[in-house]
Every structure is written in structure tokens, then in C-alpha cells.
């Protein structure tokens, strides 16, 4: 998934667990892997291979930077200014940071092991020669569904930030006190 989705969900987890920072941080980190199981679109790591044009690499880096910036901007606009919310947002994006570091340090054993695990989580993506169960290799999912999964996570997270928004749209739905 793109970074904004991970950042926003991580921040939403902190909003739900403001008095349990350790649990919030652990769940934010684990949420990354859980989200990556679902079909989604993401940045192309192909653009970072040596035989690629540098302009594609630069455009991907700009896309990642903007995505990260918009994620933080949403947190600023929609939440109270609490350190745990920012920390959980950043921790939720950490696995992708480790993946990016693998490209900078390709011989690092920890980063290689994490990369292999992280790619294996992506059940619906046929990438990097990671062997997946036959069902997932043969399943073709359109970009519409891949984008929709990310939109749903962002919308649910925004509803967690702003429960009054949920109650305004769905007056019969009560979230209690968050």
C-alpha cells in the first residue's frame, strides 16, 4: 500500500488507544503487514533498478515524499496534536522504510530477510520471484479494487479521528466516547 494509508491507519490506532502507547505502537507496526495482505497498488520498486532511467526513480521518490507529506498533513488537520498519534503513524510506515533501506544496503542480512518476508505478505502481487500459493498467483485483481481497498482504510481511519462525522452521516451509529 502507499504510505498515506499506513500512516493514517497507524494514527487511527493511536487515537483508539491513547492510554496504551506500547500496545498502540505494536499494533501500528503490525497493521502494516495486515494491510499489505489485501490487494493494493504501491510504488514500483522496478524504478530503482540500475538499468532504469533516473527520471523514473526521481518521480517515484517525489511520489513517496508527497504521499508521506499528505499523510502527516491529514494527521495535523484531523487529530489533536499528540505525540503518540505521530509516532504510530511513522511506526506503521516503518516496514516500507526497511524495504527501501534494503535497496541501499543490499548485503545486509536483516534487511534481506525482512524484504523477503514483506514481499511474501503481498499475496496478491506477483513480484520479485517470491513463491506464493497457486490460488494467489492465478488471481487477477483490477486496479479499481486495489485502489478501493486503500480508500476504504483511509475513510475508516478518518471516521475514527472524527467520530462526530460518522454520527452526522449515520445518526443511528454510535461509537461511544473515544
pLDDT of 11-27, one tens digit each?
A: 999 999 999 999 999 99
Q: Nearest-CA neighbor of 158 among 74, 76, 86, 88?
A: 74
Question: Quick check: 84 pLDDT over 80?
Answer: yes
Report the pLDDT value the prediction gives residue 93, as an integer from 0 to 100.
95
Report the pLDDT value the prediction gives residue 177, as an integer from 0 to 100.
44
All three cell numbers of 144, joined, read 479499481
Give the separation between CA 10 and CA 4, rounded to whole angstroms: 10
pTM exceeds cut of 0.85: no
* For residues 101-130, average pLDDT: 80
All three cell numbers of 4, joined, read 498515506
Domain holding 78, by residue range, is: 3-169
Within 8 A by CB and 6+ apart from 63, the residues are 43
User: Is 67 among the domain residues?
Assistant: yes
Question: Quick check: 65 pLDDT over 60?
Answer: yes
Question: Quick check: 10 pLDDT over 60?
Answer: yes
Sign of CA dihedral 116, 122, 128, 129: positive
Report the pLDDT value the prediction gives residue 91, as an integer from 0 to 100.
97
User: Is 43 among the domain residues?
Assistant: yes
pLDDT of 155-175, one tens digit each?
A: 889 888 876 666 666 666 555
3-state secondary structure of 123: coil
User: Is 164 among the domain residues?
Assistant: yes
Residue 178 banded pLDDT, cuts 50, 70, 90: very low
Name the burial class of residue 157, with classes exposed (0-12), middle (13-18) and buried (19+) by CB atoms within 10 angstroms of its CB.
buried
User: Is 175 among the domain residues?
Assistant: no
Per cent of the chain over pLDDT 70 is 76
CB–CB of 135/146 below 8 Å? Answer: no
**Mean per-residue pLDDT of the chain:** 81
CB atoms within 10 A of CB 109: 8
User: Is 177 among the domain residues?
Assistant: no
User: Is 174 among the domain residues?
Assistant: no
All three cell numbers of 69, joined, read 507529506
DSSP, res 79? S
User: Is 42 among the domain residues?
Assistant: yes
Domain count, the chain: 1
Within 8 A by CB and 6+ apart from 29, the residues are 91, 92, 94, 95
pLDDT of 122-158, one tens digit each?
A: 766 655 555 555 455 556 777 888 888 898 998 889 8
Amino acid at each position: 500500500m502507499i504510505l498515506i494509508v499506513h500512516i493514517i491507519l497507524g494514527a487511527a490506532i493511536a487515537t483508539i488507544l491513547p492510554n496504551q502507547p506500547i500496545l498502540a505502537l505494536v499494533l501500528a507496526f503490525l497493521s502494516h503487514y495486515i494491510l499489505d495482505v489485501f490487494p493494493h497498488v504501491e510504488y514500483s520498486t522496478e524504478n530503482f533498478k540500475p538499468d532504469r532511467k533516473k527520471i523514473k526513480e526521481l518521480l517515484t521518490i517525489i511520489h513517496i515524499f508527497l504521499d508521506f507529506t499528505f499523510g502527516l498533513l491529514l494527521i495535523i488537520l484531523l487529530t489533536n496534536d499528540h505525540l503518540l498519534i505521530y509516532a504510530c503513524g511513522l511506526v506503521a510506515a516503518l516496514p516500507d522504510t526497511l524495504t527501501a533501506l534494503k535497496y541501499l544496503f543490499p548485503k545486509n542480512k536483516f534487511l534481506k530477510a525482512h524484504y523477503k518476508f514483506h514481499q511474501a505478505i503481498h499475496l496478491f502481487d506477483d513480484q520479485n520471484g517470491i513463491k506464493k500459493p497457486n490460488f494467489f498467483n492465478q488471481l487477477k485483481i483490477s486496479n479499481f479494487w486495489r485502489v478501493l481497498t486503500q480508500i476504504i482504510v483511509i475513510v475508516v481511519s478518518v471516521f475514527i479521528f472524527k467520530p462526530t462525522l460518522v454520527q452526522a452521516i449515520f445518526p443511528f451509529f454510535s461509537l461511544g466516547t473515544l
